[in-house]
A and B are shown apart, each in its own frame.
Chain A
């Protein structure tokens, strides 16, 4: 299977760099998979789980928003925050979600809509985390 180059960068570090088979990205307008030879695209990312497939192995990385750029050189994901599932502190993540729920009360109008959307994304991440933890 053809591979392509994938860079995952967050402001603080280069989180991943290497040749991969496939990357599944949680886009703002829906999830999409990138294979070698994908058409050039720039897409915004919502908070979610990014799956990197290399030689049949899957690696899941949590990204909290950002953008993805596909060019002929490969795929670059600029993530606001990138944490691999193994490194994630589940308790801390749960605390963040709880904090966001608290914060909802103070929001109004557009801010409230955005906050609810963000919270939904976070909750779906949490759900996926818990379901994978059982396996």
Chain B
């Protein structure tokens, strides 16, 4: 089984005490242990052939892992994609209904803050959704980069920027630059199946902060799933809500509302935040597996290429050595 080649995992163990307190350093001993081997020229070549074998085996093991990860990602991608597609009708309907009502209510002075905004745009909250794990190519960093560029642009304009990180990877990357500005971060690692509850949870936290007047504008960052090979990092403003013009231009059906428009709107707007976040999370999830699948596919192919090259060098070296030994034997025989 090439997956567990003992040679890869063989470390200098047993003879080395890890706890070095109260003992003289063993640098000297190590040097003594290594140097005679390096001096014996004949054995050095043998070791190098062995080294090559080990390296090939190790690359093969890596290839098996990346191949397995690719297949796992492919099957999870299918499920994630289905979930993202299943959520679409709800989100679409929701925005259709809201833009219908909002078009009527936006002009009135009593429009809710979630729709009309707080009247200023001083403090921005960036809600950055990323993956929990790496090994997915540029997936996480492309979202982070978009958020970072936006944050720097806003700060250059003299605005205040706060971060709310969903997902471990984004938090780790943003922490290096904006540690003080991250007001909250959330880990979804323990969540096996993304549910609407998770999105509701995030929405509640965001809305609580909005009600406290901690920010004026909230923008959601996630990767939109286009296809397996294309994930587009996207910024979407969710507070105040941007009502699409397209819907306003369409002939609006004159609905009756029950209860009144403003009451209905005050129910729907917070819910819409949760729906948008849920959609972003699902899109993100599908994008993550898509990115992981293609990056693992690349890794598998690269490993295959490496194995081919290494094997060629190995065989060439081995043949050269055999030829050399033969020459030595023949010339030795001739001399006698």
Contact = CB atoms under 8 A, between A and B. Distances in A.
B3 interface: no
Contact of B89 (A9, A42, A72): A9
Interface residues of A, number: 23
A67 B268 contact: yes
A13 B275 CA distance: 13
B195 A78 contact: no
Interface string B247-258: 000000111111
A11 B255 contact: no
A102 interface: no
Contact of B255 (A14, A27, A41): A41
B259 A67 contact: no
A28 B278 CA distance: 25
Contact of B93 (A29, A76, A80): A76
Contacts of B93: 7, 9, 69, 76, 78
B131 to A, nearest CB: 21
B258 A12 contact: no
B264 interface: yes
Interface in B87-102: 87, 89-91, 93-94, 97, 100-101
Contacts of B199: 11
B83 interface: yes
A72 B254 CA distance: 11
Given A12-B83, A13-B86, A71-B253, A42 B97 contact: yes
Interface of B: 83, 86-87, 89-91, 93-94, 97, 100-101, 195-196, 199, 253-259, 263-264, 267-268, 271, 275, 278
